[in-house]
Structure 1
Amino acid sequence: MQKKSVQAILFDLDGTLVDTIEDITDALNSVLTLEDMPPVDSEMTKRVVGRGLRNSIIGAVALGGEEFTSEQIDRMYASMMEHYRKNCCVKSKPYEGILPLLEDLDRQNIPLAIFSNKEDELTGEIVRTLFPHIRFAWVRGMRSDFPRKPDRAGLEYFAKKHGLAVENLLYVGDSEVDYQTAVNAGCKHILVSWGFRRREDLARLSASNLVDSVEELQEAINDLQ
């Protein structure tokens, strides 16, 4: 069991708050087809996301049995970003129940934040589009001048900025990267099973802090307050 006294809640974005997998799959396929490679489906995409879109390309290329140079990956990444910037919210939507949950937490004046490994500009665009009325205290995606998850620096930065102790933060995510981020920072965590990783894999990491529905997530958050 985790001790109570959560003072702020930080969320992963993709696979936790928002189902972005179809838009990411379309963006990946927009570059794979240019390289005469077979397309990926959403289940394949789930296997390669979580560490930034450039790494998703590397993973998708590997799934196709290919190995490209760094220069080729850079070119594909630039092309993918051009497509995804224009189409990041075409099919993406919050998971059912997420918006009411965030609205309820916001009404309670609980500081809310998003910390993602998606590129910072895209993280901000998706949040502004899908959650325009939620008062997030901090929204941060991947930036070249800022360590990405699972580095603990992001959670420590947020805690220091808001005058909080890291151990009083709660981080909610859907992957092994999110779990390791919380462990590295020494803060509380909850993993959700509706995202991009298999439930059995998450259960091996943290079975007692794994939830299967937004209702269970709400209860788990309440238990920590």
Structure 2
Amino acid sequence: MNSFPFAIVGFDLDGTLLDTHKDLARAANHALSLEGRPAVPAAEVRDLIGGGAKKMLVRALEVTGGALPPDRFEELHAALLAFYEANICIDTDLFPGGYAMLDALEARGVKLAVVTNKLERFARAIFDGLGLTDRFYTVIGGDTLGPGRSKPRPDLINLMLERAGHAGRAAYVGDSIYDTGAAAAAGLPCVAVSFGFRDRPAHDLGAAAVIDHFDELVPALERLG
């Protein structure tokens, strides 16, 4: 067990570790309803997720009638965030195999982290709601370091490494170009999940490996090591 090649494994949240699309769809559609826009089916909201709630709302507006003036957009964005915070963990859970995968990494002595572009307080609220907070040595959000520091910049992943005391080799797991870009900029190999809210085919993300189920993650990391 001690020969596992990575001491630290970080995860993106939305579309990688957790399937959050139904709760995000409710929040997006609440904001759209305030503007008299039609709802977007939850299955289609999956394709709008990536890069944070603001980008999701921009895309939702584009597919339901077009952009809004900046002041109105900010009102709807605030309404989306307030609704989501009040209804954040109704249908959200780990993707299939997630619990066993976390167990397997912990059994190998791996330090687990979350690095997401979601607001940190939202990420923490979800993990608290699922009883998962104690499994991660750090939860880092898109606002943790302030504006302009989110993925695909490497800043958040570098913070993950700093908080681990740079205690060995690290890898990152994600589902979008934001994730592979940030990992590459930080000098880490990235494993892409094909089941996430990816913004292009998983094999086109530039990841070091692609997995179709979480039971493939440990073997993939062993091969990368």
Show the counterpart of 1:71: 71
Aligned to 2:194: 193
Q: How many residue pairs end up in the alignment?
A: 220
Matches within 5 A, 1:95-110: 95-110=95-110
Distance (whole Å) between structure 2 residues aligned to residue 73 and residue 215 of structure 1: 41
The answer to whether structure 1 residue 111 and structure 2 residue 107 are counterparts is: no
Look up the match of 2:175. Answer: 174
Residues in 2 aligned to 1:205 and 1:31: alpha-carbon distance in whole angstroms:
30
Compute the TM-score of the two structures, normalised by the length of structure 2: 0.90
In 1, are the aligned partners of 2:173 and 2:192 still within 8 Å (CA)?
Answer: yes
Runs of 4+ in structure 1 displaced over 6 angstroms?
none
Q: 1:150 aligns with which of 143, 149, 152?
A: 152
Q: In structure 2, what residue type is equivalent to 1:103?
A: D
Q: Secondary structure at the match of 1:206?
A: coil
- Alignment of 1:17 onto 2:12: no
8 Å Cα contact 1:176/1:202 also seen in 2? no
For normalisation by structure 1, the TM-score amounts to 0.90
**Partner amino acid, structure 2, of 1:188:** P
CA shift in 2, pair 1:17/1:35, >3 Å: same
Higher alpha-carbon deviation: 20-29 or 175-184: 175-184
CA distance in 2, matches of 1:192, 1:117: 17
Amino acid in the other structure paired with 2:83: H
> CA deviation digits over 1:52-75, x for unaligned, max 9?
112211111111132212211110
Provide structure 1 residue ranges, at least 5 long, that are not aligned to the other structure: none
Shift of 1:110: 0.9
Q: Per the alignment, in what secondary structure is the counterpart of residue 205 of structure 2?
A: helix
Q: Distance in 1 between matches of 2:42 and 2:133?
A: 29
Unaligned runs of 5+ in 2: none
SS of the equivalent of 1:170 reads strand
Shift of 1:223: 3.0
Task: Give the SS at the match of 2:137.
Answer: strand
Cα distance between partner residues in 1 of 2:193 and 2:162 = 26
Alignment RMSD, CA only?
A: 2.0
Per the alignment, residue 220 of structure 1 pairs with: 220
Code of the aligned partner of 1:159: L
SS at match of 1:36: coil
Indicate the larger mover: 111-120 or 189-198: 189-198
Q: Which residue of 2 aligns with 1:184?
A: 185
Q: Secondary structure at the match of 1:148?
A: coil
Distance verdict in 2 for CA 1:133–1:139, change over 3 Å: closer
Q: Alignment partner for residue 162 of structure 2, among 160, 163, 166?
A: 160
